[in-house]
């Protein structure tokens, strides 16, 4: 009996907390969980399941400062690939990243996933933002 009561209280509490999530949080969760599947299908082979990269060949995705600084060009990197030398965690990487044929919404989701995983915390990168960024691709 005691357990039943505790159980119902916990359940009620969970429902309350869940419904307290604001719209922003719901959008974030939607982008993030969708992004995780896209990451595994399109990115994880090279960048690793934990964003660890591969030695000096493939950069890790753990450099929060770099991601923050380049937040507005990340969408272009995914759309057009990346050929230029970059410095990640103070190491130089120069191998080419091939372009991938992801839709803008998929780019938004996977960027939200990457920039909020592996120790990063940059918040949601939504579709509108990705479209704005992509209009300015070099």
Partner 1 sequence: MRKLILGVILLSVLNACSNKQSKLPILGNREPVTNTVDGKSVVDTAYATIPDFKFVNQYGDTITQKSLEGKIYVADFFFTTCPSICPVMHRNMLNVYKEFKADDNFRIISHTIDPKYDTVPILKRYADKMGLSGNNWWLLHGDKGSTYTIAKSYLQTVQEKNPAGQYIHDGFFILIDKQKRIRGTYEGTDPKEVDKLIADIKILKAEPEQAVTK
Candidates 12, 41, 57, 103; binder of partner 1 (CB under 8 A) is: 57
| Residue 130 and residue 107 in contact, taking contact as beta carbons nearer than 8 Å | yes
Candidates 54, 65, 103, 137; binder of partner 1 (CB under 8 A) is: 54
Least distance (Å) between residue 12 CB and partner 1: 42
Candidates 45, 72, 87, 89; binder of partner 1 (CB under 8 A) is: 45
CA distance 37 to 88: 25
Residue 110, C-beta contacts closer than 8 angstroms, at least 6 positions apart? 35, 38, 39, 42, 43, 78, 102
Residue 28, C-beta contacts closer than 8 angstroms, at least 6 positions apart? 112, 116, 123, 124
User: Does 56 engage in binding with partner 1 (CB under 8 A)?
Assistant: yes
The region of 7-15, 24-32, 41-49, 102-110 touching partner 1 under the rule CB under 8 A is: 41-49
User: Does 90 engage in binding with partner 1 (CB under 8 A)?
Assistant: no
């Amino acid at each position: 009996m005691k357990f039943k009561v505790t159980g119902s209280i916990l359940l009620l509490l969970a429902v309350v907390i869940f419904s307290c999530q604001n719209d922003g949080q719901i959008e974030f969760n939607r982008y993030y969980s969708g992004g995780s599947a896209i990451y595994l299908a399109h990115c994880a082979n090279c960048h690793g399941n934990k964003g660890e990269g591969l030695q000096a060949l493939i950069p890790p995705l753990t450099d929060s400062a770099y991601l923050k600084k380049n937040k507005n060009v990340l969408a272009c990197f995914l759309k057009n690939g990346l050929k230029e030398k970059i410095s990640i965690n103070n190491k130089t990487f120069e191998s080419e990243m091939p372009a991938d044929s992801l839709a803008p919404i998929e780019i938004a989701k996977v960027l939200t996933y990457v920039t909020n995983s592996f120790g990063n915390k940059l918040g949601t990168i939504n579709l509108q933002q990705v479209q704005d960024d992509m209009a300015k691709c070099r």
